[in-house]
Amino acid sequence: MISEVLVRMQNLSRTYWRGKMSVQALVDATGLVRPGDRIALVGPSGSGKSTLLQLMAGLDKPTDGEITWPVLDELSGLLPRQVSVVFQMPSLLPPLSVLENVELPMLLGDASVEEARQTAREMLDIFNLHELADKLPEELSGGQAQRVAMARALACRPQLLLADEPTGQLDRHTARHMFDVLFNFLQGSGTALVVATHDPAVAERLAVNWRMQHGVLEVS
């Protein structure tokens, strides 16, 4: 049923232009994301994983094809309660503490200051990051910053979580633990999860693997 589809992608293509040079980063991609899906997006570097996630997040527009979010209404701007993104590049806001970073999307939504603070503290507890609450992003290791970004993305309880290499800077044990916490948190929530990853151990934990090669998406 169309009403059960979070993201519908039909023949999506994305070409980047740099002067007269073009790169076809995504070619004719078609797929569906439904509530509760656990999807790993796997493929070599440069195959188009981040490009596809940016389109699914509504942060970029396809050059061709159509993408819709039937359950989420038409996306207009960032709607943290609907779609949360963990970016591949560091994305914590430098002047804000860890706690304030986690609070921010909730404050941009409809949470009160008190609610945002309480939930942010709970999220930091869940991810075992409470000791970092008052630190600035520049004081964190890469892996700590990635875990804070994950806590921030989940704080709004989004319907769709898009995570781009969220364990890229974590050791194997910490990566496993982060996914344990993530799955535990999402259990029974209906939140769909799409994770771009190079890590076979992460891909193995997700029910479905979508493969990308030279911009071509193979949906299993």
Ligand X SMILES: Nc1ncnc2c1ncn2[C@@H]1O[C@H](COP(=O)(O)OP(=O)(O)OP(=O)(O)O)[C@@H](O)[C@H]1O
Residues in contact with Mg ion by the rule CB under 5 A: 49-50, 88
Q: Alpha carbon of 107 to those of 94, 112, 114, 125, 138: distances in Å?
A: 17, 7, 10, 19, 23
Angle ∠(106,110,162) on CA atoms, nearest 5:
45
- 23 is an interface residue for ligand X by CB under 6 A: yes
- 18 is an interface residue for ligand X by CB under 6 A: yes
Q: Residue 84: which of ligand X, Mg ion, none does it interact with, CB under 5 to 8 A by kind?
A: none
Cβ closest to ligand X, residue 27 vs residue 145: 27
Binds ligand X (CB under 6 A): choice among 47, 82, 101, 191: 47
- Asked if 119 and 44 touch (Cβ cutoff 8 Å), the reply is no
DSSP state for residue 73 in the 8-state scheme: -
By CB under 6 A, the residues from 51 to 90 that bind ligand X are 51, 88
- 12 is an interface residue for ligand X by CB under 6 A: no
Cβ closest to Mg ion, residue 84 vs residue 119: 84
12 token code pair: 């999506």
- Asked if 64 and 12 touch (Cβ cutoff 8 Å), the reply is yes
Cβ closest to Mg ion, residue 49 vs residue 152: 49
